[in-house]
Structures are given as structure tokens and as C-alpha cells.
Amino acid sequence: MRRADPTMTRRAALGLATRGAVAAAGAGALARASAAVAQTPGSEAPVLSRGRTKVVVLGSHGGQQETQLTGANLRCGTSVLIDVAGELLVVDCGVGSLHRLVEAGYDANQVRHVLVTHHHQDHTADLGNFAGFGWASGPNGGDPRRRMDLYGPTGTRAYERGYKLLAGLSIADQEGPLGQVPTFRAFARWHEFRPPKRGRRLLSTSRFTVHAIRVTHGGMPSVGYRVRTPDLDLVFSGDRGYGRDRFASFARGADAMFHEIIDRELVVRTLRAQGATSGFIRHLIEDHCSPDEAGRTATAAGVETLVLYHLIPANPGITDDAWRSMVQPQFGGRIVVSRDLQVV
Ligand SMILES: [Zn+2]
Ligand SMILES: [Zn+2]
């Protein structure tokens, strides 16, 4: 896979992204790509955050970090932060999301709850980092009661074992000679569950109530989440194929839906040109939602606001208006095309 040249100017990078991503695509995709505009993180007024609840998109990119699909104007991997009066919950931990958290003005040791939708790497690349750096950063010797609860479907225990193995020397050093308390085991509490066919409550505090439901995503155990705070009621699709789960009814009555989205035409043509395997292309087509399908899901759920995240591709040449116009035939409410560090 080609890597971005760090010396490349943004204009040149956009050109590469446009050529790479759209080379084999049709005139419609070319028209969308040619309308590339500068995107300023956080420049819009928040549409959801209210009361004591603030929602920050840490990473808006779906899938792998393919240079030819994204250009140098990279988005980080899927991740959303919900801050209720200083109690932090993160949904998914895609690559780069820990850095985005810090850019947003927070520190890993402030994160109290982590929810993982499934164990594809574009959702978990920084999961161990959230646990490890949450444990190690901040007042690591000052409060032995500190803890982080990490929830995820089948595969979470294996991830926990793997992380403890790869970070084992560091953990042993920090707990031993460096005298860090509490122990990593006492700090990071991992909770694996089987994806439930009907909504199931996972946790409840004075600031968060979280339910999970199984969503269909190929052979990968996957869930969507519903997160209620005193001010907001939000649902997150994670990754899902359309029409084979109860996600829309699970989401009914929520204030807003975060839903993944894929521009199939552009992605398929690009990946074919790159020689991707048919299995990988089929996964992208069948196990993710098109703009029509994301719009239909939001309409079926009756939400007022649809926040598009996990954008595939995250090519900066696809403007917010282009994404919106693809969804609008199926959804008449407010559509937010999220970007990294946006306070929604
Ligand atoms: Zn994904
Ligand atoms: Zn996935």
C-alpha cells in the first residue's frame, strides 16, 4: 500500500487522493471530488450538545487508513466522546483517537467508560492505548480507586489477554519498580458480552445508561449502542449490513442516530482498480450501509438528526454536501456529516 509523503502539500495530496480514489470512478464521483473544500474542524455550532452533555467526534473515518482513499487530509479512526459534567464515555477507539482526545482538551485518565461495537481494527486500534495510557497518565499514584470499564462483544477477553501480553513488560515495570497504583488489573475492568438480539442494558450510572443490541456485520460479533445522558439520547450503529437486525426499532425515539456510511460505487471501483480481493470488496458492500440504507434506517427510527460517521471513503474530495445529497432522498431530517474534533 502506498504511504503518504509527509512533505507533500495539501493541494498535491488532494490531487493524489482525487486521482487515486476516483481514477476508475464515474463522472458523478469526479464531480463530487472536484468540489473539494477546506474543512475546518469544529467550525459549526453544536446541534446536539446541550445541558451538561457535550459530544465530540474524535475520529470519523471508517475502514482502513488507505492513503489512496483518503489523501493526506486524514481522518482518524471511528471514535466518539460523550462528556457529561466531566464523566467521559467513549464509543469505539479507532486509530488516532487517543491523540484526538488530547487535541480535544482531555486526557486519557479522565475516560471512565469505553464501549466497543466490534473487533475490527478500525474500531479498536487505540483500545489498548486508552486502557494503558488512561492507567498511566495523570495522577496515577494518587487515587487507588481509579478504574476504567471497557465493554465489548465477543472477542473482548481475547483482546484483553493480547494487550496484557504485548504490554506485559511495561505493566510489570509500572506496577513494580515504578510503584504505580492501582494495578492495571484493578484499573482496567473488561466486560465481554454476547451480542443480544434484543436491546440489553449494560451499565447505568447517574450520568449514563447504556443499552446494546446485536447488529449484523458479516461474521463479526457486532453491536449498536444506545447511550442516554440526563440531556441526550443517542444511538450508534457501529458497522452493520442493512435490513438484517433490529437496530432501527432499537433506535426509536432517540434524539439522534450516529450511522456509518459507505459510497459503494466509489469504493468498489477504486478497490477493483487496486486489485483488492473479492471477499474484501463483498464485505464492504454487504456488511455496511449505503447512503440510501443509512437514510432509511434513520427514517424508520424516527430520529430528528442523523450524524454520518465512519465515512468510507473518507476522501476529502467528497464534500459534506455530496454526502448529504446522497442521503436526503431517504431522510428528511437534519444531517450532520461529522469530522474529527467536531463538537456535535
Ligand atoms: Zn468499521
Ligand atoms: Zn467492521
Residue 268 Cα to ligand 2 midpoint, Å, equals: 16
Q: Is residue 342 part of a domain?
A: no
pLDDT of residue 3: 33
Q: Which ligand is nearest to the CA of 312?
A: 1
> What would the grid cell of residue 250 be?
432499537
b/e per residue, 73-85, with b = 16+ CB within 10 A?
bbbbbbbbbbbbe
pLDDT of residue 64: 74
Q: Is residue 111 part of a domain?
A: yes
pLDDT of residue 71: 59
Measured CA to CA, the distance from residue 99 to residue 126 in angstroms comes to 9
pLDDT of residue 189: 98
Q: Which ligand is nearest to the CA of 62?
A: 1
pLDDT of residue 314: 81
> pLDDT (tens digit, 0 to 9) for every residue of the chain, 344 residues total?
333 333 333 333 333 333 333 333 333 333 343 333 334 454 578 999 999 999 999 999 998 766 555 556 678 999 999 999 999 999 999 999 999 999 999 999 999 999 999 999 999 999 999 999 999 887 655 678 899 999 999 999 999 999 999 999 999 999 999 988 899 999 999 999 999 999 999 999 999 999 999 999 999 999 999 999 999 999 999 999 998 899 999 999 999 999 999 999 988 988 888 899 999 899 988 999 999 999 999 999 999 999 999 999 887 778 999 999 999 999 999 999 999 999 99
Under DSSP, the state recorded for 77 is B
Measured CA to CA, the distance from residue 246 to residue 174 in angstroms comes to 44
- Per the structure, the complete domain to which residue 244 belongs is given by 49-337
Q: What are phi and psi of 71, to 5 degrees?
A: 70, -170
Residue 140 Cα to ligand 2 midpoint, Å, equals: 33
pLDDT of residue 66: 62
What is each CA distance from 249 to 55, 170, 259, in whole angstroms? Answer: 23, 45, 14
> What would the grid cell of residue 268 be?
468498489
Q: Is residue 104 part of a domain?
A: yes
Q: Is residue 158 part of a domain?
A: yes
Total number of domains constituting the chain:
1
Q: Is residue 42 part of a domain?
A: no
Residue 247 Cα to ligand 2 midpoint, Å, equals: 16
Q: Is residue 15 part of a domain?
A: no
Residue 121 Cα to ligand 2 midpoint, Å, equals: 8
Q: Is residue 91 part of a domain?
A: yes
pLDDT of residue 243: 84
Q: The domain spanning residue 180 has which CATH number?
A: 3.60.15.10
Residue 122 Cα to ligand 1 midpoint, Å, equals: 5
Measured CA to CA, the distance from residue 21 to residue 71 in angstroms comes to 9
Q: Is residue 165 part of a domain?
A: yes
Residue 334 Cα to ligand 1 midpoint, Å, equals: 23
Under DSSP, the state recorded for 308 is E
Residue 284 Cα to ligand 1 midpoint, Å, equals: 9
pLDDT of residue 278: 92
